[in-house]
Structure 1
Amino acid sequence: MPLQTRAILTGHTRGLGAAIAQLLLEQGADVLAIARTRNGGLATRHTGKLHEVELDLADPVKLDEWLSGEALSQFVSDAQRVLLVNNAGMLAPVGDLANQAPAAIARAVSVNVAAPLMLAAAVVQATGQTADTRIVHVSSGAARNAYPGWSIYCATKAALDHHARAVALDGHRALRICSVAPGVVDTDMQAEIRDLDLAHFPMRERFDALKRDGQLATPEQSARKVVDYLLSEAFGDTPTVDVRDLA
């Protein structure tokens, strides 16, 4: 990664986000990581390169306050390449409409949609379209296929896909964007899925089988595909991609 690179990443404390952060840091990027908690192990291994912000992305008011400050613009000010990886996401609420609390819906939409879109706009404004700017929305197969019980998760991930498609049509000179489905990854979210009540998620047995049969990718495997694609010349050629379809 020869260019002076600054990366902004959400949800870096575990799973796919932690693996992406590790790869970007190993390749020489400075990483500004946003999550509710810190990643002590990662910070110890990359002193001076990892900059952590404790922020609940479910609170758009707090996020707006932070974006209104100078931390982001100062972080990217001397960068030749700026990367934004919108990785943070949540599955809940799961179940049909009669079992979805309005507050839970609001939280999911804030984390899965509002925060990524707010960060995307703020990053582009901070770079002034002078740096090579690349935005990844971490999407899901659920954005493109409807699942019973997952109406909120499917809808929010589909929103990221369509956001990428629309932004790509805007023709920003120095911006590339893609909504990337990372495959089925062995993360805490997968464990959450396997703990769901069948009455709320009738397709749970499919995910039980993926774990049982060793069909889940490790976070490190999926992170490698996401990062390799993000840094490739092909990134952004299409606004939505599934890493399983990449060569």
Structure 2
Amino acid sequence: MKGTKAIVSGHSRGLGAAIAGELLERGIPVLGLARRGNAELAAEHGDRLAEVVLDLGDSAALAAWLAGSALGDWVAGAEQVLLVNNAGTLQPMGPLPLQDAAAVARGVAVNVAAPLMLAAAIAQVSAAVGEGTTGQVRDRRVLHISSGAARKPYAGWSVYCATKAALDHHARAVQVDATPGLRICALAPGVVDTAMQGEIRASTLERFPLRDRFAEMQASGGLIAPAECAMHLVDFLLDEDFGREPVADLRELMR
């Protein structure tokens, strides 16, 4: 898609890798942000994939990177910029007495601080690049990968539930801001067959009482393949109706 560029956090594996791959297959250059690169995507798509090795749990490091020119250089020349805030962590799992304070801080940094920082940076750098210029950055779209856990409490997931709920409410508030040329949505993708599901199945019942329910879903084929989810997710991201509702569920959109 000519004139469109995308930024995808957590592109090195799982749903993030599938989203980045789907965008690249559609001809959209991708800037991937993760703690490690994605050699498979890089080999397949060459210079259409740019990668930044960055720990999104380190807010100071992310702020330092955003203070530089790399993001502005990437966005330059685009008429449409897509940000997919996909990176996330389930940790710390378990009831409050079992939660390590440092793990709580990291969970909030990865799941909340990083997406909000990137969203603000995209809005600012896009506006700066487009200022006084014809034919640049008319459409900015921010997609937070949320979860059903943002809308329903789960035992053992208090940090995960709270951080995903924060993304939902951030999207609602940003929509109220009504910034011209900026659309946002927090989207729950459903239960996707990623390493995070493996992490759930490997947990103890003490830390996640519903572990066996998720294991049964995997055994019965009830999980969504990352590639299928990514296809529908990118369709939604590129649709003219994207951002009309600030909070959505991909499963409902697919009905």
TM-score by length of 2: 0.95
The number of residue pairs the alignment matches comes to 246
Which residue does the alignment assign to 1:161? 168
Matched letter for residue 93 of structure 1: P
Correspondence 1:227 to 2:234: yes
1:139 is the counterpart of 2:146: yes
For residues 146 and 88 of structure 1, what CA distance do their matches in structure 2 show? 21
What SS class does the counterpart of residue 183 from structure 1 fall into? coil
Letter in 2 for 1:195: A
Q: Quote the residue 2:196 is aligned against.
A: 189
1:149 and 2:156 equivalent?
Answer: yes
Shift of 1:178: 0.2
Partner of 1:64: 63
- C-alpha displacement of 1:93: 0.4
CA distance in 1, matches of 2:124, 2:169: 20
Deviation at 1:198, TM superposition (A): 0.6
Residues 205-244 of structure 1 mapped to structure 2, 5 A cutoff: 205-244=212-251
Structure 1 residue 29, shift from structure 2 partner: 1.0
| Structure 2 match to 1:25 | 24
| Displaced runs of 4 or more, over 3 A | none
Are 2:3 and 1:4 aligned? yes
Structure 2 distance, partners of 1:12, 1:85, is 10
- Using the TM superposition, give the Cα deviation of residue 51 of structure 1 relative to its aligned residue in structure 2, in angstroms: 0.3
Please give the secondary structure, in 2, of the residue aligned with 1:48.
helix
Q: Counterparts of 1:28-67 in structure 2 under 5 Å?
A: 28-67=27-66
Structure 2 distance, partners of 1:106, 1:42, is 31
Is 1:83 aligned with 2:82?
Answer: yes
Residue identity matched to 1:203: L
Q: Which amino acid aligns with 1:169?
A: V
CA displacement at 1:205 relative to structure 2: 1.5
Secondary structure of the equivalent of 2:47? coil
Matched with 1:170 is 177
Residue of structure 2 equivalent to 1:127: 126
Q: Which residue of 1 aligns with 2:116?
A: 117
Deviation for aligned residue 1:57: 0.3
Query: Aligned-pair distance for 1:89?
Result: 0.2
Spell out, residue by residue over 1:99-134, the C-alpha distance to the aligned partner (whole angstroms, 9 max, x if none): 000000000000000000000000000110742100
Question: Cα distance, 1:27 vs. partner?
Answer: 0.9
Residue 108 of structure 1 corresponds to 107
SS for the counterpart of 1:46 is: helix
Q: With structure 1 as the length reference, what TM-score do the two structures score?
A: 0.98
SS at match of 1:114: helix
> Cα deviation per residue 1:220-244 (whole Å; 9 max; x = unaligned)?
0111111000000111010011100
- Point out where structure 2 has 5 or more consecutive residues left out of the alignment: 131-136
Whole-Å Cα distance in 1 between the matches of residues 19 and 236 of structure 2?
12
SS in 2 for 1:209: helix
In the alignment, what sits opposite 2:134? none
CA distance in 1, matches of 2:200, 2:43: 32
Cross-structure match for 2:133: none
Partner Cα distance (1:224, 1:25) in 2: 12
CA RMSD of aligned residues (A): 0.8
